[in-house]
DNA sequence: TCTGGGGTCCTAGGACCC
DNA sequence: TCTGGGGTCCTAGGACCC
């Protein structure tokens, strides 16, 4: 159970990308706009509230959004501005308490348990955050306040758009019970549908359902977690850092029969992105996973765990290529593919075992190929050149032809979350609310 | 014209070890 | 000689979140 007197805020910038565009261009204010995509293709990354009223949502194909809302204006993303303004809003939160857990570019938990005696009650702190973000950053932000993270998050969703909801201690169940189960963290469309099959539509109904029934339906872990949430039993603490568990990259490709040269080109590009980030953070991983999506959105993964962690572009490329082809061959090479992905997991920090890297380990895949040390030397040179002259100054293969409507690299960088990931060796639990 | 790209966590079966 | 239970790791798939 949460600590006595705990006060957690969840702050969430409203329709973030779209609000930034309306801030930057006054002509867009009050109008339905979509960031990303277009009437003929691509995908909508974010929609303004005016567009949401017509049913336009993030993740929706542009042509469908245009059909739902004929007045819709499509704008290209100003990705550098998103990062800058998101950071500025987070800085306001940090002024209220050092215990800020940023969970995406536009959203964070703040533990203000230790701040109330200085700054006033939760409603006062939350109102001050909203006023400052509006005045200093220029953006609307919704805030929920409660005793737990889960409840604070639900409260901020209820508060949207541009609102504030405080759940006073003792009123949790009165607040929670009538709300739809879909607001519980971890309940998506599939789970919602399954629960509806039991006649469970509200959080109160979920709380009153026997645990054996829920766990039979959803599995032990998911069912148990959901019931705990429905009973307002959420003991998660606000943590200021976390460790990455995997690093991946994927790319939609134009629908095509798999072609050896093209598959190799895309995979080497993806492996390069992944390994560059791994090396930049001093990480390497033992498990390499390749993903292939076929038409009809059926997607297949193949993975391989090595004896030693890798972060070498050429090695990851070769392994991913073998894995992808095994998936393609099993499906039948006549099937068209629509996406390729590469990911590395089972990560370990390489900086603490630098000495081992001096010894060239045996290459697990191609006995006659370049030894590990030579491959790492290539990566080191490439990283150094990119560090001086920019990311696109040197690559492993000719730059691929960009599809129309493809997501720009700047958006990929926003989604990487590298800035949210722990860099030091400190334990995530070192910062405990209320500790000296 | 037919849904992006970055992640996390859980499940379940099989291999393997003690 | 036959049998058992528990733990860990690996692999593939899927739900979910932003």
Q: What is the pLDDT of residues A88-119, one digit of tens each?
A: 999 999 999 999 999 999 999 999 999 999 99
For A115-133, how does the pLDDT look when each residue is reduced to its tens digit (9 = 90+)?
A: 999 999 999 999 999 999 9
Residue A177: which pLDDT band, with cuts at 50, 70 and 90?
very high
Q: Give me the CATH code for the A1-168 domain, please.
A: 3.30.70.270
DSSP classification of residue A309: E
CA A244 to C1' C11, in angstroms, rounded, equals: 21
Q: Which nucleotide is nearest to A290 (CA to C1')?
A: C12
Residue A396: which pLDDT band, with cuts at 50, 70 and 90?
low
Q: Which of A21, A50, A107, A321 is catalytic?
A: A107
CB proximity A246–strand B (7 Å threshold)? yes
Q: How many angstroms separate the Cα of A402 from the Cα of each of A42, A171, A222?
A: 12, 54, 40
- In this predicted structure, what is the pLDDT of residue A96? 97
CATH class of domain segment(s) A246-420: alpha beta
> What is the fold, at CATH topology level, of the domain defined by A175-230?
DNA polymerase; domain 1 (1.10.150)
pLDDT surpasses 80 at A404: no
pLDDT surpasses 70 at A81: yes
From CA A233, how far away is CA A222, in angstroms rounded? 14
Which helix (H) or strand (E) segment holds residue A218: the answer is helix A211-218
- In this predicted structure, what is the pLDDT of residue A3? 61
CA A405 to C1' B6, in angstroms, rounded, equals: 18
3-class DSSP assignment, residue A388: helix
Chain C positions with a protein C-beta closer than 7 Å: 9-18
- Taken as a whole, chain A contains a residue count of 436
Residue A387: which pLDDT band, with cuts at 50, 70 and 90?
confident
Question: Peptide bond preceding A161: is omega within 30 degrees of 0, i.e. cis?
Answer: yes
8 A C-beta contact, residue A107 and residue A144: no
Concerning whether A168 is annotated as a catalytic residue, the answer is: no
Residue A242: which pLDDT band, with cuts at 50, 70 and 90?
confident
pLDDT surpasses 70 at A345: yes
- In this predicted structure, what is the pLDDT of residue A371? 65
Q: Which residue has the higher pLDDT, A398 or A311?
A: A311
pLDDT surpasses 60 at A277: yes
8 A C-beta contact, residue A108 and residue A149: no
Average pLDDT, chain A: 88
Domain residue extents for chain A: 1-168, 175-230, 246-420
Residue A4: which pLDDT band, with cuts at 50, 70 and 90?
confident
Residues with Cβ within 8 Å of residue A125, at least 6 apart in sequence: A7, A9, A96, A112, A115, A116, A119, A145
Q: Which nucleotide is nearest to A341 (CA to C1')?
A: B5
- In this predicted structure, what is the pLDDT of residue A427? 39
Q: How much is the average pLDDT of A217-231?
A: 91
Same fold: A1-168 with A175-230: no
From CA A136, how far away is CA A227, in angstroms rounded? 40
Q: Which residues touch strand C (CB under 7 A)?
A: A 59, 103-107, 153, 185-192, 286-287, 299-305, 346, 415
Q: Report the binding-site residues of A for Mg(2+).
A: 12, 106
Residues with Cβ within 8 Å of residue A87, at least 6 apart in sequence: none
């Amino acid at each position: 159970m949460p600590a006595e007197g705990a006060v957690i805020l969840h702050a969430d910038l409203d329709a973030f990308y779209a609000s930034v565009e309306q801030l930057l261009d006054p002509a867009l204010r009050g109008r339905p706009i979509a960031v990303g995509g277009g009437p003929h293709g691509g995908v909508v990354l974010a929609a303004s509230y005016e567009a949401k009223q017509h049913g336009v949502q993030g993740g929706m194909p542009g042509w469908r959004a245009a059909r739902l809302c004929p007045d819709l204006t499509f704008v290209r993303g100003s990705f550098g501005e998103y990062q800058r303004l998101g950071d500025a809003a987070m800085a306001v939160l940090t002024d209220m308490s050092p215990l800020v857990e940023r969970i995406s570019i536009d959203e964070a938990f703040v533990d203000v348990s230790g701040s109330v005696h200085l700054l006033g009650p939760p409603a006062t702190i939350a109102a001050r955050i909203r006023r400052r973000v509006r005045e200093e950053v220029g953006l609307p932000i919704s805030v929920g306040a409660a005793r737990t993270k889960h409840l604070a998050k639900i409260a901020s969703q209820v508060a949207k758009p541009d609102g504030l909801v405080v759940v006073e201690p003792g009123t949790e169940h009165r607040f929670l019970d009538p709300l739809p189960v879909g607001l519980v963290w971890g309940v998506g469309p599939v789970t919602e549908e399954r629960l509806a099959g039991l006649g469970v539509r509200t959080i109160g109904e979920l709380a009153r359902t026997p645990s054996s029934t829920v766990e039979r339906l959803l599995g032990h872990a998911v069912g148990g977690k959901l019931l705990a949430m429905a009973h307002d039993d959420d003991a998660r603490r606000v943590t200021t850092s976390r460790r990455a568990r995997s690093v991946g990259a994927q790319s939609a490709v134009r629908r095509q029969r798999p072609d050896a040269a093209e598959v190799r080109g895309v995979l080497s590009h993806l492996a390069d992105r992944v390994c560059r980030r791994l090396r930049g953070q001093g990480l390497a991983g033992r498990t390499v996973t390749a993903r292939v999506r076929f038409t009809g959105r059926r997607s297949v993964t193949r993975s391989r765990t090595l004896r030693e962690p890798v972060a070498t572009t050429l090695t990851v490329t070769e392994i991913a290529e073998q894995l992808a082809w095994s998936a393609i061959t099993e499906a039948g090479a006549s099937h068209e593919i629509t996406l390729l992905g590469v990911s590395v997991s089972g990560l370990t920090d390489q900086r603490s075992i630098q000495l081992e890297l001096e010894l060239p380990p045996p290459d697990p895949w191609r006995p006659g190929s370049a030894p590990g040390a030579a491959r790492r030397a290539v990566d080191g040179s490439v990283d150094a050149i990119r560090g001086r002259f920019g990311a696109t100054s040197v690559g492993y293969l000719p730059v691929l032809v960009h599809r129309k409507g493809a997501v720009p690299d700047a958006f990929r960088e926003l989604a990487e979350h590298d800035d949210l990931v722990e860099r030091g060796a400190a334990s995530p639990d070192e910062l405990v609310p209320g500790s000296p």
